[in-house]
């Protein structure tokens, strides 16, 4: 039981970080960024390339991964999202196509075989009789540091408050002097950086593979839809619900059932409460 609690807490923190970047785009840009997983995949591979293939310090590898993710998000906004502004379906299809292109590019550069990412911090620690790797502890700690920093940024800065205004009403925000295009551009860059950071931790927890972007996208969609569009608190709570239930399902039944539960959860919430558990109702 203690093992399940500890593993659930650790996995939930990682899921929360992965979902945050997706939530920002969904709430501010009103777009299902189906290429969000590409940030996660590329972030993991950039870290692998810099830290393991080039032998650079892990901190530089992590910073490089986040920078590449942020640049990807920025370019995606400028080259795809902005020209297709107003056509949400076209944007979503384009982002999905881009994810497939990025997967092919990764296969071309790194091959299609899975790769093991060395632990960020090697070793194992025993907590009240439960064994936990330093790697997942470090990933969870960094995830929470990033989440808290994002929360402080959104709540405590002028740009963060402008992001909140745009998420509520883009036209009203524009009348108040906020530039929605600038805010969307910043949001896509932040989302890309968050996705890449999550990709480093996710890959160190599982493994690197060209199709590793699929599972995080499903998890992010589930967390954001169930939690409610634009709700950071909802995202955190639902990330913990899904994280704990996945650990329980794997421990009690079978790993193959975790994806089934996630899909059923999305369908159930959409039927009962379309705006999510903590989301505001759209009028």
Q: Is the pLDDT of residue 45 over 90?
A: yes
Query: Could you tell me if residue 10 is inside a domain?
Result: no
Predicted local confidence at residue 254, as pLDDT: 66
pLDDT at 190 (0 to 100): 93
Q: For residue 57, is it within any domain?
A: yes
Q: What is the mean pLDDT of the chain?
A: 85
Give the pLDDT confidence score for residue 280 in this predicted structure: 59
**Contact by Cβ (8 Å): 278, 237:** yes
pLDDT at 69: 94
Determine, yes or no, domain membership for 282.
no
The answer to whether position 46 is within a domain reads: yes
Query: How confident is the model over 196-219, as pLDDT tens digits?
Result: 999 998 888 888 999 888 888 888
The runs of H, that is alpha helices, within the chain are 2-24, 36-48, 58-76, 88-110, 134-156, 158-168, 170-175, 180-205, 214-227, 232-252, 258-272
Q: Find the mean pLDDT for residues 256-263.
A: 70
Within a domain: 259: no
Q: Is residue 229 part of a domain?
A: no
Least confident of 14-28, 141-155, 262-276: 262-276
Query: How does pLDDT run across 183-194, given as a tens digit for each residue?
Result: 989 999 999 999
Residue 281 pLDDT grade (very low, low, confident, very high; cuts 50, 70, 90): low
Tens of pLDDT, residue by residue over 144-183, are: 898 899 889 988 899 989 988 888 878 888 888 888 889 9
Contacts of 172 (CB under 8 A, 6+ apart): 165
22: in domain = yes
Q: Please state the domain count of the chain.
A: 1
Range of the domain at 65: 17-210
């Amino acid at each position: 039981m203690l093992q399940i609690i500890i593993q659930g807490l650790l996995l939930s923190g990682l899921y929360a970080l992965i979902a945050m970047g997706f939530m920002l785009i969904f709430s501010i840009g009103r777009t299902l960024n189906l290429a969000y997983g590409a940030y996660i995949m590329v972030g993991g591979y950039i870290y692998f390339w810099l830290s393991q293939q080039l032998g650079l310090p892990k901190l530089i590898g992590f910073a490089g991964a986040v920078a590449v993710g942020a640049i990807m998000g920025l370019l995606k906004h400028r080259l795809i999202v902005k020209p297709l502004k107003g056509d949400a379906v076209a944007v979503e299809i384009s982002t999905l196509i881009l994810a497939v292109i990025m997967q092919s590019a990764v296969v071309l550069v790194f091959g299609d075989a899975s790769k093991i990412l060395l632990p960020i911090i090697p070793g194992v620690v025993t907590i009240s009789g439960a064994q936990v790797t330093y790697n997942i502890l470090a990933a969870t700690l960094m995830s929470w540091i990033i989440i808290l920093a994002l929360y402080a940024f959104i709540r405590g800065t002028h740009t963060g408050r402008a992001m909140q205004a745009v998420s509520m009403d883009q036209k009203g925000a524009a009348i108040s002097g906020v530039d929605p295009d600038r805010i969307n551009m910043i949001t896509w860059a932040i989302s890309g950086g968050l996705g890449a950071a999550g990709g480093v931790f996710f890959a160190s927890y599982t493994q690197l593979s060209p199709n590793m972007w699929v599972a995080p996208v499903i998890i992010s969609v589930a967390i954001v839809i169930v939690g409610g569009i634009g709700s950071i608190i909802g995202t955190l709570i639902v990330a913990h619900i899904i994280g704990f239930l996945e650990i329980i399902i794997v421990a009690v039944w079978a790993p193959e059932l975790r994806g089934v539960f996630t899909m059923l959860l999305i369908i159930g919430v959409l039927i009962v409460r379309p705006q999510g558990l903590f989301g505001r109702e759209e009028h």
